[in-house]
Amino acid sequence: MIRYVLGRLTSLIISLIVASIVIFAVIEVIPGDPAAFMLGINARPDTIAALRAEMGLDQSVVARYFDWVTGLLRGDFGQSWTYKTPVAELIADRIWVSLPLAIYALALSTIIAFPAGIYAASRRGGAGDVTIMGATQLGVAIPNFWFAMILVLIFAINLRWFSAGGFPGWDNPLQAIKALTLPAIALALPQAAILARVMRSSLLDMLGEDFIRTARAKGLSARQALWKHAVRNALIPVLTIIGLQFSFLLAGGIIIEQVFFLPGLGRLIFQSISARDLIVVESVVMLLVFTVIMVNFLVDLAYAAVDPRLRTKS
């Protein structure tokens, strides 16, 4: 077990080192000088040089990489060039928009997808199944930013039930949840469509398995067999998809955050790239990569906990 964990840990560390080099290198080669961008077209060359020195850009790439990495190891994400505040503070503010939005959207998509998928599978080939599958086709095909605009048009401009965008902060939780509702729906529906389709096909696979026939032979009704045996087993691939969707929702809200002008992580990355605030981009992307790698590491450990073969092998 110890050898297994050590092995996983080594690969975790190597992954992080490689990721940090790749992220730094890729972001550094984006054309555009951050100092020249900040000072605009009337700036004098000596002014740009002075700002480059202030930002530490006059050092070599290697020196700046080690500065950045050693900072990260100490938990110091660096200082944003444009905002002139610590990157950690920027991330801390933004995560409280992006994370609740992702959770909200995931909850909505699950609430919609489970009943829809189960119902469709239990009525395979029937009118209900055809209707739901048709609707999910539409849900997968509709781009979520377009759907977001339609939601704004109906619920913000015509009915005036919601604001068209913005985020009032968590001082008033009800207002905050209300402000995240339209963005969460816009994010959730396409995800729900995918999830419902996975749920349905996974259930249909299970319904063809021997253990369902056995259950029916024991005297369970089709409905009892479905709920007691098929649904639980069908959940495994569905949970995998949910996990993937969550990281997509967390990092993938960029466009939705633009449409609803929400101050989330996606908008931070978007603004920082166009402003060439490279240190912010590097640190935020590194944080996301770190999260994913850590989750994988924990999953590996969990596999080992449930599957003894992994522990004893090698």
Partner 1 sequence: MHHFKTLAASTAIVLCASGALAQDSITVAIQLEPPNLDPTGGAAQAIDSVLYANVFEGLTRFDADGAIIRGLAQSWDISDDGLVYTFNLAAGVTFHDGTTMDAEDVKFSLDRARAEDSTNAQKGLFAGITDVTVIDPLTVQVTLDQPNGNFLFNMAWGDAVIVAPESIENIASNPIGTGPFTFTDWVQGDRLELTRNPDYWGPAPALESATFRFISDPTAAFAAVMAEDVDAFVGFPAPENLPQFEADPRFQVLVGNTEGETILSTNNKMPPFDDVRVRKALAHAIDRQAIIDGAMFGYGTPIGTHFAPHNPDYVDLLANSQYDPELARSLLAEAGFADGFTTTLKLPPPSYARRGGEIIASQLRAVGIETEITNLEWAQWIEEVFTNKDFGLSIVSHTEPMDIGIYANPDYYFQYDNPEFQELMETLNATTDPAMRSNLLAQAQAIISEDYVNGYLFELAVATVAKAGLQGLWVNQPTAAVDLTGVSWSN
CA distance 202 to 24: 41
CA distance 276 to 260: 23
Which one, 146 or 211, has the nearer CB to partner 1?
146
Residue span 265-284 as binding mask against partner 1, x where in contact by CB under 8 A, dash where not = --xx--x--xxxx-------
**Which of 144, 216, 226, 135 lies closest to 185, judged by CA?**
144
Q: Answer whether 288's CB lies under 8 Å from 90's CB.
A: no
**Which of 94, 285, 282, 119 lies closest to 203, judged by CA?**
119
Which one, 135 or 273, has the nearer CB to partner 1?
273
The neighbouring-strand residues paired with 79 are: 86
Stretch of 26-34, 123-131, 209-217, 287-295 contacting partner 1, by CB under 8 A:
26-34
According to CB under 8 A, which residues from 78 to 137 bind partner 1? 82-85, 90, 93-94
- The single residue among 5, 12, 27, 50 that binds partner 1, judged by CB under 8 A, is 50
Min separation Cβ 89 and partner 1, Å: 9
Contact status: 165 vs partner 1 (CB under 8 A): yes
Which one, 46 or 210, has the nearer CB to partner 1?
46
CA distance 53 to 243: 44
Min separation Cβ 199 and partner 1, Å: 33
Longest CA–CA separation in the chain, Å: 86
Contact status: 185 vs partner 1 (CB under 8 A): no
Contacts of residue 232, defined as CB under 8 A and 6 or more positions apart, other chains included, come to none
Burial 65-93 (b: 16+ CB within 10 A, else e): beebbebbeeeebbbbbbbeeebbebbee
Contact status: 160 vs partner 1 (CB under 8 A): yes
Min separation Cβ 30 and partner 1, Å: 8
Q: Answer whether 198's CB lies under 8 Å from 117's CB.
A: yes
- The single residue among 102, 152, 184, 249 that binds partner 1, judged by CB under 8 A, is 152
Give the SS3 label for residue 296. Answer: helix
Min separation Cβ 84 and partner 1, Å: 4
- The single residue among 185, 187, 231, 259 that binds partner 1, judged by CB under 8 A, is 259
- The single residue among 3, 14, 18, 47 that binds partner 1, judged by CB under 8 A, is 47
CA distance 105 to 192: 9
How many positions of this chain bind partner 1 (CB under 8 A)? Answer: 53
CA distance 77 to 286: 10
Min separation Cβ 49 and partner 1, Å: 10
Min separation Cβ 234 and partner 1, Å: 40
Contact status: 74 vs partner 1 (CB under 8 A): no
Contact status: 194 vs partner 1 (CB under 8 A): no
DSSP 162-206: S-SS----TTSHHHHHHHHHHHHHHHHHHHHHHHHHHHHHHHHHH
The neighbouring-strand residues paired with 86 are: 79
Which one, 11 or 258, has the nearer CB to partner 1?
258
Asked whether the CA dihedral 264, 270, 271, 277 is positive or negative, the reply is positive
Which one, 257 or 300, has the nearer CB to partner 1?
257
HSE (CB half, 13 Å, CA atoms) of 55? Answer: 25
Min separation Cβ 151 and partner 1, Å: 10
- Write out the residues near partner 1 by the rule CB under 8 A: 30-34, 36-44, 46-47, 50-51, 53-54, 82-85, 90, 93-94, 149, 152-153, 156-157, 160, 163-167, 169, 258-264, 267-268, 271, 274-277
